[in-house]
Amino acid sequence: MPAMGKPVRTEELRVSDDERGAVQERLRRAVGHGQLDLDEFDERARAVWAARTRGELDRVTRDLPEPPPPPLPAPRHRVFSTTAGGTTMRVLSTVWASVLAVNLVVWTLVSLGNGGAVYPWFIWLAPSGAVLTVLYATGIGRPRGSAP
């Protein structure tokens, strides 16, 4: 135990479970990149969870090169992108808008022919429009990992 009043060296500082978990994650990535085999990973993971100081944790990963940078995030897709999900949303939206337009034209012609407004049956298309909006907002119908 260090003497009172003397500064503690960095390698003598105690480690937390979060720090141990981060080092184990680095070891897991090293296995994924082929830098360690499973036996080495198992041995080093045991050493990680037995470590009490930062110096002990550093010794576990000292011979590992820095991990390669993480892959770039997937590009964000728009609703009308050319992906399968974007095409789905484009087709559904186009069909819905076309049906709504036809209903509005027919309703207008019928209303003009009767000399006054008739029951606006086209409002029954609103629920399907709401469903499309919910699909868009929740990401259903788009590829995984894409966002509005």
User: What are the pLDDT digits (tens) for 85-115?
Assistant: 677 788 888 999 999 999 999 999 999 999 8
Work out the average pLDDT over 18-45.
92
pLDDT band at 33 (very low <50, low <70, confident <90, very high): confident
pLDDT band at 145 (very low <50, low <70, confident <90, very high): low
pTM over 0.75: no
Q: What percent of the chain stands above pLDDT 90?
A: 43
Distance between CA 94 and CA 121 in Å, rounded? Answer: 20
Q: Are 143 and 85 in contact (CB under 8 A)?
A: yes
Query: Which residues, 6 or more positions from 128, have their beta carbon under 8 angstroms from its beta carbon?
Result: 96
